[in-house]
Homo-oligomer: A and B are copies of this chain.
């Protein structure tokens, strides 16, 4: 999502709130909230959640005409709250903007918290709305009778009132903004600013925020005219400072003899893929481009795209040589400092003479780290800086680049035919080939945290393919519901030409399997559906390689008939899905040969090897 730049909103005091209760402009707070959310993400159509006593009267406002018909919002129920959090995360990533998760007090919100923590770690802008006990219920003092509501932890001192804010305190660790609405906020008019603060902070920092809504708040009346204020994510940049930075970067770039640009994952996670592409498209044809393992957001078909740089996990040592030893100036965009984006911190920039590093919160220039937040205010955002770079860069100013030839990585077919393997299972090397071949431009590829994830640098991505994975948080079970979220997003955006692919380990799929049923529930909405390869290797193969290769704790119940699950979930006649089981390479090739995409959900149970991993996985663990 490109940053919105607009003049500051008028203060709430512009409106006479004393008129509110009698005014025809009054609408319920619940309705206002959903309409404001729709302004914060105009692409949003689906919010995700599970009902519970404390959120029912908030959910009711989703069915009001302004929300349901005019703004076009709907709720999609998931089977449980953790799955809902994963789904919202996938939706946010695919739609490149705010996603919404709605749960109930205690039981719901805590079930979701691992998913929300994942959104924090992986920079996914999810708003988590929690319906709570009412403000009246929260107002009891210790000298009144002690009331312990359901869904509420008792005070550790049984003679004191429970702490209705206990979950807020837990949530504060996994979010960037955390507010509770109050009756006094409605009366004072602070409620509008509070809601905007939550929405803006989430979008500015691309991380989750919490809004706690007591059950007696959604029906309170507020002033609908507050929706006339434009919704603004980012403040205006401090232009002179930003332009100075851009000038410095461009001067270094223009002067370099062997410059390189590395697009790192936070460019993608902050929604700046198009901006980065616009920038690199204006660079000279001999300026070498790289992306990182979790970025993969530079067009890999460009002649000057060298490859995925991933330290000891790079698909070829020449990529590392090009970046580490043949670069005099590196422009590192959107650095994502994480073990699984750096192959265990094996990236090596020590031989590069000069570099500029851009992070959403800081810049590294000439070896000095400069915070972008001064006196509580952000000087400019990474998006504003990247857009300005793309705007100001001039191809003809580059005169010093001496690079005549450079290494360009083109993944080879890695699969070495092996009679035994071919007959008994589909090897991961074969999977690398298959995924490389099946992808078309603009497809979305979701890969679960699994052995195959480590092989992703070996897959060449066609133009515009979006790669979604959760390698930093690494919570297995994520990808199946996240792909459901991607599917909702693709359908909500009407992108019927984008295919969705998921590679998912069987142990992971068991964690969140019920969400397959949700594809059936919303078959009337979901016209474009994913193809899901279940990598059926009878357990946790990554863990087997680390420890306990034959231990029972790395096993799962391996008798599941994956290709029959959706029939048992209700699609008996396979009206809304396809499914099949492929036991070896010949059957896998046959599946591909016969495959014709008709938009239906497709579950392919791929027999894999219990100890088989890709060459890349082995090389990573051997090198480390």
**Known contacts A561-B568, A569-B560; is-contact A158 B51 (Cβ 8 Å):** no
Q: Which residues of B contact A474 (CB under 8 A)?
A: 107, 150-151
Q: Is the CB of B153 within 8 A of A176?
A: no
Q: Which residues of B contact A80 (CB under 8 A)?
A: 82, 477, 510-512
Q: CA A345 – CA B145 in complex, angstroms?
A: 10
Q: Is the CB of A514 within 8 A of B517?
A: no
Q: Which residues of B contact A59 (CB under 8 A)?
A: 548, 551, 553
Q: CA A153 – CA B170 in complex, angstroms?
A: 14
Q: Does A17 contact B (CB under 8 A)?
A: no
Number of chain A residues close to chain B: CB under 8 A: 96
Q: Which residues of B contact A570 (CB under 8 A)?
A: 557-561
The smallest C-beta distance from A59 to any residue of chain B, in angstroms, reads 5
Q: CA A4 – CA B560 in complex, angstroms?
A: 45
**Known contacts A107-B473, A111-B114; is-contact A56 B547 (Cβ 8 Å):** yes
Q: CA A56 – CA B554 in complex, angstroms?
A: 9
Q: Which residues of B contact A410 (CB under 8 A)?
A: none
Q: Is the CB of A77 within 8 A of B552?
A: yes
Residues of chain A whose beta carbon lies under 8 Å from any beta carbon of chain B: 49, 51-53, 56-57, 59-60, 62-63, 75, 77, 79-82, 106-107, 110-111, 113-114, 117-118, 120-121, 145-154, 156-159, 166, 169-170, 173-174, 176, 337-340, 345, 359, 361-362, 369, 371, 471-477, 510-514, 517-518, 520-521, 540, 543, 546-548, 551-561, 564-565, 567-572
Contact partner of A151 (CB less than 8 A), chosen from B56, B146, B473, B554, is B473
Q: Is the CB of B51 within 8 A of A548?
A: yes
Q: Which residues of B contact A556 (CB under 8 A)?
A: 77, 79, 521
**Known contacts A169-B173, A362-B159, A546-B53; is-contact A520 B559 (Cβ 8 Å):** yes
The smallest C-beta distance from A152 to any residue of chain B, in angstroms, reads 8
Given A148-B472, A560-B570, 14 more A-B residue pairs with CB atoms under 8 Å apart are: A51-B553, A56-B546, A59-B551, A60-B548, A60-B551, A79-B557, A107-B474, A117-B153, A148-B339, A151-B473, A151-B474, A159-B362, A170-B173, A521-B556
Q: Is the CB of B113 within 8 A of A543?
A: no
Which partner residue on chain B sits nearest A542 by CB separation? B53
Which partner residue on chain B sits nearest A170 by CB separation? B170
The smallest C-beta distance from A348 to any residue of chain B, in angstroms, reads 13
The smallest C-beta distance from A307 to any residue of chain B, in angstroms, reads 23
Closest 8 CB pairs of A and B: A559-B570, A110-B114, A107-B475, A56-B547, A521-B557, A80-B511, A111-B114, A51-B553
Q: Is the CB of A511 within 8 A of B514?
A: yes
Q: Is the CB of B147 within 8 A of A345?
A: yes
Q: CA A228 – CA B50 in complex, angstroms?
A: 51
The smallest C-beta distance from A303 to any residue of chain B, in angstroms, reads 34
